[in-house]
Chain A
Amino acid sequence: MIEENINTKFDVIKIREDFPILRTAVRGKQLVYFDNAATTQKPQQVIDAISKFYHFQNANIHRGVHELSEIATFEYEKSRGKVKLFINAKSSHEIIFTHGATEAINLVASSFGDLFIKENDEIIISTMEHHSNIVPWQILCQKKNAKLKIIPINDDGEIIFEEFEKLISEKTKLISIVHASNSLGTINPIEKIIEIAHQKGIFVLIDGSQSSAHLKIDVQKYDCDFFVFSGHKLYAPTGIGVLYGKESILEKLPPYQTGGDMISSVTFEKTTFNSLPFKFEAGTPNIEGAIGLGSAIDYLQLKNINEIASYENEILNYATEKILNVDGIKIIGTAKNKTAILSFDLKNIHPHDVATILDKEGIATRSGHHCTQPVMQRFGIPATTRASFSFYNTFEEVDIFINALKKVIEIFR
């Protein structure tokens, strides 16, 4: 069953031991978890870090003079430093902890939007954006009477670059685009986009929700102005995410939310805001989440991200090849450059029926529009079934999945 070209250096069996949930049975079957683009499972190291925090380190951060508060603050800030290294930011002041990528985009839409977007200005996004990178800009544009322009995509699910270039005008202030599409898998040529944008003084936000666990991220090399991602798609807990912004820009922006921790002094007459990054972190943050994220980054750093990427690519290629032999299959998202996401349509069988039957076989996939309704409209389908892979998935699991798809077809024949 297993192809010859598999990466023998990559010890997936050993990696799987780090993820306790992978030993779980669901519906009486061994779990096959192919819903990694929605959220990833957590390694024991991350679970232990969170448990350790509550066993031995829990206190509120900043300002406390007692030892536990010092330890909690130290651990929280240490995680910020790990994020800085992970995405190669220039300074840890550029790392803002948020609830997730969604909040990070909302923060930029609010604070950057307030200061930089004026009437008749233009913001460019693409057809393949997640709703979280559409709606905040729509609302901002309504508020400011600005215009939202959309980069079209081709039948393979790649942005049409010439059309993108045509959309740029004197009025364009921001381009906000996904690094890797959650419903198509397409990896966008962000460096080329950023280069063109910067020649015209346009700011660029990159949504790294689907790329940060699968590609080596280097914000200085990309030269993006903002980069956002969620921890839980990166083997960390839910409720923690990151906004990276260039210090020179973040310095200028007004706060997003106000309250405790984000101030340096408050009187009833006047409030002075705290310095970066605290200016953007009002209230008690998700401390365990930040610590969990730091631990997930440690875990990933122990592996080689390039090896992870190349193994995930092999899984994707294997699954793509096998699924093409299934009757009535149409892959949605056939870009040349893809992350390990396989979205497909099975002729005359609705994705929800597909996912229900796969679930009975212990296989977790996702069916629906994946919060990318414009992508579904573009391809003229209501929904897709999506299998999304991680480096803990195996070729054998792909075989189980393909066999289960054949069962789906049998039932509906």
Chain B
Amino acid sequence: MNNLSELYQEVILDHNKSPRNFKKIQNATQTIDGFNPLCGDHYTIHFEIRDGKIIDIGFEGSGCAISKASASLMTIAVKGQSIETAKSLFQKMHEIFIGKNKNIDFDELGSLASLSGVSEFPARVKCASLPWHTLNNALIGKKENITTE
């Protein structure tokens, strides 16, 4: 059960139970859907992006514990950040999920590091990365919804 406790860490279970920024936001400039058609995970993420900065972010929808916790942690991490910082965080997290970066800087990532366990579960990588790909679309100004299959 060792890997399993790494996948389902307390932080993940907590964010699954009580996701943060789990709401529609007031002044959204963009709203993008992300879904895994095979799983049925489906999130709508609202962004307020002005002057190169993520002013506010909120999400709605449903899915597994991994995708929901990932979305919740992501909103905390990128709220108030510049587009450039968020983009590089997306890149970093993407590499962690697919197991390309195994040297996790726990101090730098904080709670986000709890998502690193997913790299040991290939079938679940798409769950963790779904909200991040949706974020990336918003950052690069793409309007299309995201599917990760």
Contact = CB atoms under 8 A, between A and B. Distances in A.
Interface of A: 348-353, 356-357, 360, 367-369, 376, 382-383, 411-412
B13 A382 contact: no
Contacts of B7: 356
Contact of A376 (B8, B40, B63, B66): B40
A368 B38 contact: yes
A356 B65 CA distance: 11
Contacts of B8: 353, 357, 411-412
Interface of B: 1, 3-4, 7-8, 13, 16-17, 38-42, 62-66, 121, 123-124, 127
B62 A360 contact: no
Given A356-B124, A368-B38, A383-B39, 19 more contacts: A349-B65, A350-B63, A350-B65, A351-B64, A352-B41, A352-B64, A352-B124, A356-B4, A357-B8, A360-B1, A367-B39, A368-B40, A369-B38, A369-B40, A382-B39, A382-B40, A382-B42, A411-B8, A411-B13
A353 B4 contact: no
B127 A382 contact: no
B40 A360 contact: no
Contacts of A367: 39
B76 to A, nearest CB: 21
Nearest to A367: B39
Contacts of B66: 352-353
Contact of A360 (B3, B13, B41): B3
Which 10 residue pairs of A and B lie closest in terms of their CB atoms, listed nearest first?
A382-B40, A350-B64, A352-B64, A383-B40, A353-B65, A360-B4, A353-B64, A411-B8, A369-B40, A352-B39
Contacts of B3: 360
Contact of B4 (A357, A369, A376, A383): A357
A395 B7 CA distance: 30
Contacts of B38: 368-369
Most B CB atoms within 10 A — which of A349, A353, A368, A411?
A353
Contact of B62 (A369, A382, A411): A382
A81 B147 CA distance: 45
Most A CB atoms within 10 A — which of B8, B63, B64?
B64
Contacts of A382: 39-42, 62-63
A162 B86 CA distance: 57
Most A CB atoms within 10 A — which of B17, B65, B123, B124?
B65
A368 B40 CA distance: 7
A352 B92 CA distance: 25
B17 to A, nearest CB: 8
Nearest to B1: A360
